[in-house]
Amino acid sequence: MTTTLDELRRLTAAAAKAAPIAAAASDAERAGWLRAVADRLDEHADELIEIADSETRLGSTRLKGEVARTTGQLRLFADVITEGSYLEAIIDHADPSATPPKPDLRRVLHPLGPVAVFSASNFPFAFSVAGGDTASALAVGCPVIVKAHSGHLALSLRMAELVGAALEEAGAPAGMFGLVTGREAGNALVGDPDITAVGFTGSVAGGRALFDIAASRLDPIPFYGELGSINPVVLTAGAVERRSDELAKGLVGSFTLGVGQFCTKPGVVFVPSGAGFEDAVAQSVDGAAGGPLLTDRIAEAFPGGIRRLLDDEAVRLVSGAAEQDAVNDGATPVVLATTAAAVRERPETLLEEVFGPTTLLISYDSEDELLASLAVVPGSLTATVHAEDDEEVEGIVDALRRRAGRVLFAGWPTGVAVNWAQHHGGPYPATTSLYTSVGATAARRFQRPVAYQSAPERLLPPALREDNPLGIPRRVDGILVLP
């Protein structure tokens, strides 16, 4: 089943027609739409999990948790828009006595319009048809057209049926949600004149191709892509000396979680030279479970990625099998090791992401060498440091902050809380923009600011009217005013 270009145009035209209606709907109305979708997905969770497991082989336990995360995201955004600060309402009253005189200026965010969302392979619910991109766009009044992922097509089609029916029954306008399939339709969706922004989670190559389409349009549009991330981890000498076995077990549990198919998997780990951490990891990974990868294409690529790293003379195998039939037998964990000097010389080779259950241990001799090596690490979603309280790590933390959007000081990066404070982004190629794809501020991606100067009260959006009829937080004359 592939969407034709004529079918695509009908969907985008309907979305464009729905956009002003959705923008004019109240926050309470749109919150009701989101909660209706969440309730419908929860009602059909068992059915959806069965379909998803047959296509992705992720297992019912993982998928059950992902459905809960997905419906939780929808309800979070319902809360976000009813709280009101997402509008960033600002009022500066006129000041005729100022030099020069200042007019009355009021600023608020408005929805962009129809949004294209590309489903991810590794999260068939949470980053897919009704995932965070869709939830945050619908929340602020943007119609959504999803490009289904070929790796879970049957699930996508069923999800689209449920989402569309729930929105219709909750009173959302026709055209508020649609689904397309096929690469040609996906490319055309980004270039469609009615689409105003794109949310994407996937590969660097695929995301960059779509990013270039978005940027080359006569009217370029924002492309919010999450493309690739190796998520560096730094272990200090004190941490390894005092907690080597604990850290080794934690690392193995993290890079093998979900058979290494999490976007926050710790792909490279900087370890002090001569501390014996490689041996501790080898012991911990012995017997660690592998499993089937999401698609045959991913499974075929996994051993190839391992081989490319081992082709470098500075890389050695610590544990696992470099040659494996991941398509038929599933992928098994692989640990590799190299040096910080080699990484600085060939970062484009040694710091390439390998999707699957593998990690690269990088030995460093001094903090100066560590900092120089971190400087060549590509942008990532996360960066982690494990250190002891008596160690000075301010320089390391600053270096990691420059390379990632979330810095962890304990635990491991796999696992992303969905809340107000979360940031799931980072320097390119982790993301193509500054804003996050997870958490409350994800909604900011699909809005733009408009300032109203000396506008009559009756023509102002409700969020900017003097009596604050929405009862939302606002900044008035420079002071944050709570309702």
Catalytic residues: 226, 263
Residue 208 tokens read as: 């960059």
φ and ψ at residue 118, rounded to 5 degrees: -105, 125
Radius of gyration of the chain (CA): 24
Tell me, rounded to whole angstroms, the distance of Cα 261 from its chain centroid.
Answer: 14
Residue 373 tokens read as: 């090596």
